[in-house]
Amino acid sequence: MKKNLIDKYQWFLITGIAVLSLGFYTAFGDIYFEIGKNIDIFSRVYKEITLNYVDEVNPEEFIRAGIRGMLKELDPYTTFIDEKRQDDIDLMTKGKYGGIGITVGIRGEHVLIIEVMDGYSAQKQGLLPGDALFEVSGVKVKPSNYDDVSKLVKGAPGTFVDLKVLRGEPSDTLSFTLLREEISVKNVAFAGFIPENSSNAYIKLSGFTRTAGDELRNEIVKLNSVRRIETVVLDLRGNPGGLLDMAIDVSNKFLNRGDLIVTTKGRDSVSLRKFFAEQEPLLKSVDMAVLIDGGTASASEIVAGALQDYDRAIIVGEKSFGKGLVQTVTSLSYNTSVKITTSRYYTPSGRSIQKIDYAKDNKVIGKHDSVLTTEFRTKNNRLVYSGGGISPDTTVSAKLKSDFVKDLLAKGMIFEFVNGFYEKNKSLKFENLNENLILDEFNSFLKKKKYEFKHPKIVQLNELILTFGQDKNYVHLQGKIEELKKEIEKTSKNILDLHKTETANEILLELAGRYHDSGFRIKYRLTDDVQFKTALDIINNKSLYRKLLALN
């Protein structure tokens, strides 16, 4: 009898486990079976190709090409991070890296030092903007291996790196042995009163690494100790974003404790998270403007969206980038990582500002929240929209550069000229530079370099001439197009005279960073900044400011 009871108990237990297991399999079994099946197929294909392909295959490059191809089917923010790019993760999360304090870029046939940071090894030992990197740790530097330069220059603090640079014309080869230090990247690129004798605080926030909130707090406290801040312009233009918690911290400097700042939502309702302001604001009641443009993205949009939804600031400039996706970095083996889009974020009013719906018509992705353009309301009942980034309350387009100046910048003509001019005129004061003298020297420089401006439309006209020459119905138009082409070419010969003010401004802007620090360069740029001037006009016009934010 006892044995029969045990047998019945065991039968019920086994049956119960089987039923539970069946339920688990029904809910999750299909996806795990598909994962296992396709990993098996993938590994077999990888092995067969690697071992049996007609030519020798690099196993590491082959599998990583497969990983990149797989992730490419999702969105551009879900990426594999290999060993070479781990410094990028440290920079993003900690705002620090081991290096010598330089920024480099490609100009023509050289990799040049674009910026030398204040207070670090490169500046202390005399490296200059415009120096061409010739060799780093015995490796010749050229545009083709530009991606490797950062890895060569960076390294553990306390270690040394050997550099050879080319300077001047004719070029001298200079050798440096530089100590790598812990470089802290500043999030607040500049903070000060502008105009200088006013009570308007201008703050240029360029990133959202781990120290962004503390830097902002320190700068606000410092400015308030000089004189009481009465208005503030927060410049988020060109800010690509960064850490979500830093966006929350920055927003908290202006919003009231308890205000909802952002909501994130992942695949299911369990992943829904709401983030609130947890501190009293540093600047509670001062009138405020936020500058945005097409380069304002991610964490920057969280800040701009929250301040707009609470009618806390007037948003001025151009529509933001529209990145409403949140990424999580997961460490993998062998010092690699994967950055995965894990959720979408929503502003306090409930709007998504994601511009592109990567999941739409994507066979890889199943059920998802689509990016909809829907109406929402701010705290004061103003109309705002989701989808497509943050729209400014006052749209002001930045001044567009002419094709001529774009060409000069792209070919490094201005940068190269400034290098030589500064070397010869270090003793001069920036404030005393003569614009006409600079343009005369620049004109001579262009002639020496045999620079010739070819208007982009010339290429199109050449194509038209060729096309019409092949069609008997239009061949008679060839001569007229040739005349137009010659007229454009004739005008292009005196192109510097036509754009002398714009060209002089670009040269002076570059020189401002040579004669003074980067902060002065930012201030100098504001003297001809129509978006900043508009923001300043609005916050100084109390009735207009209140009307735009529906505060009356």
295 with 387, same domain: the answer is yes
371 lies in a domain? Answer: yes
Higher pLDDT, 147 or 513: 513
With 0-12 / 13-18 / 19 or more C-beta atoms within 10 angstroms meaning exposed / middle / buried, residue 24 is: exposed
For the residues 96-122, what does the mean pLDDT come to? 82
Band (409; pLDDT cuts 50, 70, 90): confident
> Looking at the structure, do residues 305 and 454 belong to the same domain, yes or no?
no
Pairing verdict, β 383-385 and 375-377:
antiparallel
Beta carbons of 383 and 351 less than 8 angstroms apart: no
Domain boundary among 152, 184, 216: 184
Please name the residue ranges forming H helices in 73-190: 86-94, 121-124, 146-153
Mean pLDDT of 392-417: 88
Q: Which of 24-28, 201-205, 327-331 has the highest mean predicted lDDT (pLDDT)?
A: 201-205
Q: Please report whether residue 79 resides in a domain.
A: no
Mean of pLDDT values over 433-440: 91
Whether 390 and 442 map to the same domain: the answer is no
Q: How far apart, in Å, are the Cα atoms of 110 and each of 104, 113, 160? A: 10, 10, 23
In a domain, 411, yes or no: yes
* pLDDT tens, residue by residue, 296-315: 999 999 999 999 999 999 99
Q: Mean pLDDT lowest for which of 279-288, 381-390, 396-405, 479-488?
A: 479-488
Joined together, the tokens standing for residue 239 give 């800010």
Let me know if 309 is a catalytic residue: yes
Q: Residue 492: its pLDDT value, please?
A: 62
Two tokens, residue 141: 């530097």
CA distance 498 to 237: 29
Give the residue, 261 or 152, on which the prediction is more confident: 261
- Average pLDDT score over residue span 209-237: 95
Q: Are residues 368 and 294 in the same domain?
A: yes
411 to 129, 153, 171, 415, 503: CA distances (angstroms): 16, 25, 19, 9, 14
The active-site residue out of 186, 323, 339, 485 is: 323
User: Given pLDDT bands bounded at 50, 70 and 90, which one contains residue 543?
Assistant: very high
Q: What is the pLDDT of residue 202?
A: 98
Q: Which of 30-34, 124-128, 312-316, 423-427 is the most confident on average?
A: 312-316
pLDDT for the residue numbered 367 = 64
Q: Which residue has the higher pLDDT, 30 or 461?
A: 30
Report the C-alpha gap between 514 and 516 in whole angstroms.
Answer: 6
Of 7-21, 210-224, 372-386, the one with minimum mean pLDDT is 7-21
User: Does 72 reside within a domain?
Assistant: no
Q: Which of 121, 206, 251, 298 is catalytic?
A: 298
Are 36 and 168 in the same domain?
A: no
pLDDT band at 25 (very low <50, low <70, confident <90, very high): very low
Greater pLDDT, 101 or 495: 101
Q: Is the pLDDT of residue 83 over 50?
A: yes
pLDDT of residue 18 exceeding 50: no
- What distance in Å separates the CA atoms of residue 304 and residue 324, rounded to the nearest whole number? 12
Q: What is the per-residue pLDDT for 266? A: 87
Same domain flag for 280 and 228? yes
The closest alpha carbon to 254, from 232, 237, 236, 275, belongs to: 232
- Extract the tokens encoding 441: 């020297």
According to the model, what pLDDT value does residue 353 have? 87
> In the chain, what is the greatest distance between 2 CA atoms, to the nearest angstrom?
113
CA-atom Rg of the chain in angstroms: 29
Paired tokens of 243: 């850490």
pLDDT band at 21, cuts 50/70/90?
Answer: very low
Residue 362 has pLDDT above 50, yes or no: yes
Would 10 be classed as within a structural domain?
A: yes
> Any residues with CB less than 8 A from the CB of 255 and at least 6 apart, and which?
261, 277, 281, 306, 307, 310, 312
Domain housing 475: 403-527
Catalytic residue among 131, 235, 249, 309: 309
What is the spatial distance between Cα 354 and Cα 298, in angstroms, rounded to a whole number?
9
For residue 129, which of 157, 101, 162 has the smallest C-alpha distance? 101
Assess contact for 74 and 341: CB atoms under 8 A: yes
User: How many beta carbons lie within 10 A of that of residue 328, not counting itself?
Assistant: 13
How far apart (Å, rounded) are the C-alpha atoms in residues 111 and 166? 10
Q: 349 and 475 share a domain? A: no
Are 503 and 496 within 8 A, CB to CB? yes
Is 323 an active-site residue? yes
Instruction: Inform me whether the pLDDT recorded for 501 exceeds 80.
Output: yes
The more confident residue out of 439 and 29 is 439
Comparing 330 with 480, which gets the higher pLDDT?
330
Q: Is 268 a catalytic residue?
A: no
Looking at the structure, do residues 343 and 199 belong to the same domain, yes or no? yes
In this prediction, residue 86 carries a pLDDT of 66
DSSP 27: I
* Within-domain flag for 307: yes
In this structure, the answer to whether residues 265 and 244 fall within a common structural domain is: yes
- Whether residues 155 and 290 fall in one domain: no
| Pairing verdict, β 287-292 and 188-193 | unpaired
In this prediction, residue 381 has a pLDDT band, given cuts at 50, 70 and 90, of very high
Average pLDDT over residues 249-257: 95
Residues 204, 167: Cα–Cα separation, whole Å: 32
The C-alpha atoms of residue 123 and residue 216 are separated, in whole angstroms, by 25
Q: Is the pLDDT of residue 256 over 90?
A: yes
Residue 368 and residue 340 share a domain = yes
Of the ranges 41-45, 109-113, 322-326, which one carries the lowest mean pLDDT score? 109-113
Of the candidates 365, 398, 431, which is a domain's last residue?
398
Q: How far does Cα 208 stand from its chain's mean position? A: 11
In this structure, what are the phi and psi dihedrals at residue 279, rounded to the nearest 5 degrees?
A: -125, 160
Domain of 169, CATH number, reads 2.30.42.10
Q: Kindly tell me if the per-residue pLDDT of 22 is higher than 50.
A: no
In a domain, 520, yes or no: yes
Across the chain, mean pLDDT equals 85
Q: Which class for 313: exposed (0-12), middle (13-18), buried (19 or more C-beta within 10 A)?
A: buried
Name, in order, each residue with C-beta under 8 angstroms of 417's C-beta and a sequence gap of 6 or more: 441, 442, 445, 507
pLDDT digit string (tens) for 265-307?
988 777 889 999 999 999 988 999 999 999 999 999 999 999 9
Arithmetic mean of pLDDT, 63-85: 87
Phi, psi of 450 (to 5 degrees): 55, 40
* Identity of residue 199: S
**DSSP 3-state of 252:** helix
Query: What's the pLDDT band for 471 if we cut at 50, 70, 90?
Result: low
Q: Is 284 exposed, middle or buried (0-12, 13-18, 19+ CB in 10 A)?
A: exposed
Instruction: Fill in the amino acid letter for 5.
Output: L
- Alpha carbons 200 and 540: distance in angstroms, whole number: 9
- Verify cis geometry, omega within 30 degrees of 0, for the bond prior to 143: no
Secondary structure element (H or E) that encloses residue 116, with its range: strand 110-116
Overall number of domains in the chain: 4
Do 120 and 223 reside in the same domain of the chain? no
Peptide bond into 195 cis (omega under 30): yes
* Residues 235, 229: Cα–Cα separation, whole Å: 16
Please state at what angle helix 500-515 crosses helix 435-448, rounded to 10 degrees: 100
HSE-CB of 447 using CA atoms within 13 angstroms: 9
- For residue 59, say if its preceding peptide bond is cis, omega within 30 degrees of 0: no
Asked if the structure places residue 277 within a domain, the reply is yes
